[in-house]
């Protein structure tokens, strides 16, 4: 390893933990089943998973019964082939001896074989149809439940959980359950029935040949088990290192402008090489060891075939067995060896399915938002009177952020909330929208406590323009219409004109039909913010929340947008969070916050006359501007 790579490895910089979403897939080869983790409560999780099947239990049972029947048909087939071979041998012997050949017996066996294998094919088709349909329906239900749960979880959950972790539950974990149901369960049943049935048929043909064939099996299983035990840790290392590689690539790609700006390409490549080397080392070891198993099984299988062929030839020569019996026996040996690997991995399949189900059930059991009131308040007309009474709140109850906050906003007033970073300004907005529930105190709208409203009804009274503008992968028209889905195209365009973004839109390819890409990198930050303002204008709410709504626009656009916002705020209760104090000079009431408390309140002129904390903030901003000028 190069010095640069050693330095990168020894630098002490830890790779952020990421959920790569990699999960094993049932039915993709024996080694695919070995990756993953074990469930902490295997029995309890499997019991819950079975209970989740609900109305599908009888369908699953029918599928398993048909799988068993089809497997039995497949087991009977080789024995009938042996009888047909013996019949054909008799016909050949009769013809060679100059006698007449009777084909009726051979035709009878061929018809039976066609019926047997036809039944096997039909049963396999029905089992596939049933199990695929059931597994798809159950996966559909799981994803529906997870999706609904996502919208009932409090924001606190997402504050401590990565996006990849949530996505892993709804995609990869559900896929593991889906594939186990559609393939794994029927494979387990057919493998067990095949092994037992083949052994019974082998003993029915000749017990001596059966014992000779079975002697080889324990030896092969000992070797395979040793390989599995040794390779499993390399597969775990491979998954971990794959997560490091994916995480590093994601970070470097999402921040490629910063990487280039600070000439970080060389360091990024060095770190990638370290992770890539680790991945390569684990991957080739795991793949090499897993690749040994099939040749080893083939070697032992061939040894078994040689022993059976030699002994069987002798028994045919002395007249103990027929050629057809030996042909049938060899097929049963092959049938017996084939599912042994699947049986060896049944426990791994079940453990990983239980682990995936456990993660899904853990997510579905997460604590939800405080339940809605049974009889929510529904205001026919909202005047916009808002009052905070002795509000206390902390993201961590032991570390309060808001302490005894009280304020009142009369209908139609423009309320500005200012203060240094970390003072609690944005937190107040989150509490007002019930993104979080307060620890104590009250927040009232038109005299009604906000917990007496349905959350959807409460939030319908507001429109928000946040500092972090959010747009999604859709057309410009659809992004603006998100504020009011039933709005016409003309209303969308009027809102865009009011937000002074219409002239930008007409310069873009396809105008209002231009697709905003997933990273929203095909428009500027200021244009994104103007689009979110247009969305709020289209929503036409009674109350507005503007969190640094004009922070990312240039000075000329800010002046135009501020005029549009002033027209929009007329007659509406508006809460404005601003760092640039020049934008809120005409506010009806300015609340000055510091460390979760209101330390000053009043109009701009009153606060400047008081020459207190607000005046210091305001003057410091303009001193900075004058110094820069």
Number of Cβ within a 10 Å radius of residue 459: 16
Res 566: pLDDT: 75
Q: 398: burial class by Cβ within 10 Å (0-12, 13-18, 19+)?
A: exposed
φ and ψ of 233, to 5 deg: -65, -30
Using CA atoms, how far apart are residues 343 and 120, in angstroms rounded to an integer? 21
Res 37: pLDDT: 53
Res 257: pLDDT: 67
* Alpha-carbon separation of residue 412 from 204, 271, 575, 588 (angstroms): 93, 56, 10, 9
Res 546: pLDDT: 83
Number of Cβ within a 10 Å radius of residue 346: 15
Res 551: pLDDT: 62
pLDDT tens digits along 496-525: 888 888 888 998 888 999 998 877 778 887
* Alpha-carbon separation of residue 426 from 435, 580, 602 (angstroms): 11, 15, 20
Q: 223: burial class by Cβ within 10 Å (0-12, 13-18, 19+)?
A: middle
Instruction: Report residues of the chain scoring pLDDT below 70.
Output: 1-40, 98-99, 101, 162-164, 232, 235-236, 239-240, 243, 250, 254, 257, 340-348, 351, 467-468, 549-554, 557-558, 560-561, 564, 622-629
Of 151, 188, 156, 232, the closest CA to residue 63 belongs to 188
CA-CA-CA-CA dihedral for 84, 90, 94, 100, to nearest 10: -40
Of 51, 66, 64, the closest CA to residue 181 belongs to 64
- Where b means 16+ CB within 10 Å and e means fewer, 26-35 reads beeebbbbbb
SS3 content of the chain, % helix, strand, coil (to 5): 65, 10, 25
Q: pLDDT averaged over the chain?
A: 79
Paired tokens of 482: 């998100």
Of 55, 234, 254, 235, the closest CA to residue 138 belongs to 55
Res 157: pLDDT: 80
Using CA atoms, how far apart are residues 28 and 340, in angstroms rounded to an integer? 16
């Amino acid at each position: 390893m190069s010095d640069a790579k050693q330095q990168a490895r020894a630098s002490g910089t830890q790779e952020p933990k990421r959920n790569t979403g990699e999960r094993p897939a049932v039915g993709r080869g024996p080694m695919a089943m070995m990756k993953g983790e074990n469930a902490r409560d295997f029995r309890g999780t499997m019991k819950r998973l079975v209970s989740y099947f609900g109305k599908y239990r009888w369908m699953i049972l029918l599928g398993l019964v048909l799988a068993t029947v089809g497997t039995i048909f497949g087991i009977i087939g080789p024995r009938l082939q042996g009888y047909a071979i013996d019949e054909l041998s008799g016909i050949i012997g009769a013809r060679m001896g100059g006698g007449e050949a009777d084909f009726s017996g051979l035709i009878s066996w061929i018809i039976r074989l066609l019926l047997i294998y036809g039944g096997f094919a039909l049963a396999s088709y029905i089992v596939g149809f049933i199990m695929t349909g059931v597994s798809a329906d159950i996966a559909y239900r799981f994803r529906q439940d997870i999706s609904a749960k996502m919208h009932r979880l409090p924001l606190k959950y997402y504050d401590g959980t990565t996006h990849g972790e949530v996505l892993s539950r709804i995609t990869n974990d559900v896929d593991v359950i889906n594939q186990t149901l559609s393939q794994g369960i029927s494979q387990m049943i057919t493998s067990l029935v095949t092994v037992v049935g083949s052994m019974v048929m082998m003993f029915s043909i000749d017990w001596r040949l059966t014992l000779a064939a079975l002697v080889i099996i324990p030896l092969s299983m000992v070797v395979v088990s040793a390989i599995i035990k040794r390779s499993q840790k390399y597969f775990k290392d491979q998954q971990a290192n794959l997560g490091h590689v994916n995480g590093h690539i994601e970070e470097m790609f999402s921040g490629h402008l910063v990487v280039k700006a600070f000439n970080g390409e060389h360091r990024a490549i060095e770190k990638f090489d370290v992770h890539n080397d680790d991945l390569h080392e684990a991957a080739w070891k795991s793949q090499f060891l897993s690749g040994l198993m099939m040749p080893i099984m083939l070697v032992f299988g061939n040894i078994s075939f040689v022993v059976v062929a030699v002994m069987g030839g002798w028994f045919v020569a002395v007249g103990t067995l027929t050629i057809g019996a030996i042909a049938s026996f060899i097929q049963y040996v092959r049938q017996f060896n084939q599912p042994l690997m699947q049986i060896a991995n049944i426990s791994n399949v079940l453990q990983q399915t239980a682990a995936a189900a456990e993660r899904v059930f853990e997510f579905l059991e997460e604590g939800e938002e405080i339940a809605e009131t049974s009889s929510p308040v529904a205001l026919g007309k909202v005047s916009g009177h808002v009052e905070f009474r002795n509000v206390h709140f902390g993201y961590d109850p032991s570390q309060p952020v808001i302490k005894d906050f009280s304020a009142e906003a009369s209908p139609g007033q423009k309320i500005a909330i200012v203060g240094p970073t970390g003072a609690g300004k944005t937190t107040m907005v989150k509490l007002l929208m019930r993104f979080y529930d307060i620890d104590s105190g009250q927040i009232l709208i038109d005299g009604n406590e906000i917990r007496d409203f349905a959350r959807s009804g409460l939030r319908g009274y507001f429109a928000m323009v946040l500092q972090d503008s959010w747009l999604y992968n859709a057309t410009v028209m659809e992004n603006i219409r998100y504020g009011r889905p039933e709005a016409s195209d003309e209303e969308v365009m009027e809102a865009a004109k009011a937000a002074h973004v219409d002239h930008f839109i007409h310069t873009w390819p396809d105008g209002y039909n231009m697709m905003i890409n997933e990273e929203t990198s095909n428009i500027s930050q200021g244009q994104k913010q103007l689009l979110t303002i247009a969305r709020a204008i289209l929503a036409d709410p009674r109350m507005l929340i503007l969190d640094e709504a004009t922070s990312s626009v240039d000075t000329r656009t800010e002046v135009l947008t501020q005029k549009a916002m002033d027209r929009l705020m007329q007659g509406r209760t508006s809460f404005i969070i601003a760092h640039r104090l020049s934008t809120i000079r005409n506010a009806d009431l300015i609340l000055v916050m510091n460390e979760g408390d209101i330390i000053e309140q009043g109009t701009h002129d009153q606060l400047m006359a008081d020459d207190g904390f607000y005046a210091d903030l305001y003057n410091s901003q303009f001193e900075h501007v004058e110094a820069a000028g």
